[in-house]
Amino acid sequence: MPNMATSLNQQGVTTIVTGWGLQDGAQPSPELRQAEIQILDREICNAAMMEAKAADAVDGFIYAAQTLGLGEKDSYEIWDELVARAPEPLTENLICSGTFEGGKTSCNGDSGGPLVVPLEDGGYIQAGIVSWGLTALSGYGCEETALFSAYTDVSKFVPWLNEVIAANP
């Protein structure tokens, strides 16, 4: 599996995510939906996510810095340190998959569903499990501008899976 995992988890590999995630009106889809997406570079996804998180946090930081009477130079230094210390959202146990154009990804309610890679023989291999992504501002459905979602990398858990299967024949 490690050799297969290495070839599956490369940028540009086509994947398919399926699920009955929430649609407009906070209702699950009445039919199984799917989206064809690609594995994206984890570092690019992390940079995009950190940029989005920083943009969400900057106004609060500016307010706090001004309230505390910090000068501009000190504020910039502290902000840079704060951002540098923030943990990357996508760990080594996660796959980033989506499109750079956005609009195709897993939806709220798809968690636990499969991320598969189509094989040349017509079969599929499961590469991931829907973990998290961006939710629409309403809190329901899909974020239509989302570029990617995070998927648990199944290959990282193969030894544990084999152990559990062997212990429960």
Predicted TM-score (pTM) of the model is: 0.83
In a domain, 66, yes or no: no
Q: Please count the structural domains in the chain.
A: 1
Q: Which residues contact 57 (CB under 8 A, 6 or more apart)?
A: none
In a domain, 108, yes or no: yes
**Local confidence band at 5 (pLDDT 50, 70, 90 cut-offs):** low
For β-strands 124-133 and 94-98, DSSP reports them as: unpaired
**Local confidence band at 20 (pLDDT 50, 70, 90 cut-offs):** very high
In a domain, 157, yes or no: yes
Q: Which residues contact 66 (CB under 8 A, 6 or more apart)?
A: none
Q: Which residues contact 106 (CB under 8 A, 6 or more apart)?
A: 17, 19, 21, 35, 113, 115, 130, 133, 142, 149, 151
**Integer Cα distance of 150 and 169 in angstroms:** 31
In a domain, 128, yes or no: yes
Assess contact for 19 and 109: CB atoms under 8 A: yes
17, pLDDT greater than 90: yes
* CATH number of the domain within which 152 lies: 2.40.10.10
In this prediction, residue 3 carries a pLDDT of: 57
In a domain, 104, yes or no: yes
**Local confidence band at 117 (pLDDT 50, 70, 90 cut-offs):** very high
In this prediction, residue 32 carries a pLDDT of: 95
**Integer Cα distance of 143 and 134 in angstroms:** 6
In this prediction, residue 26 carries a pLDDT of: 77
Residue 152's domain comprises: 2-24+32-42+90-167
CA distances from 2 to 114, 117, 119 (A): 19, 15, 17
The candidate with the shortest Cα–Cα distance to 28, out of 130, 113, 109, 139, is 109
State which amino acid sits at residue 122. Answer: G
pLDDT tens profile 52-95: 888 889 999 999 999 999 999 999 999 999 999 999 999 999 99
In this prediction, residue 137 carries a pLDDT of: 56
pLDDT top residue among 22 and 16: 16
In this prediction, residue 79 carries a pLDDT of: 94
**Integer Cα distance of 91 and 85 in angstroms:** 15
In a domain, 79, yes or no: no
In a domain, 152, yes or no: yes
In a domain, 77, yes or no: no
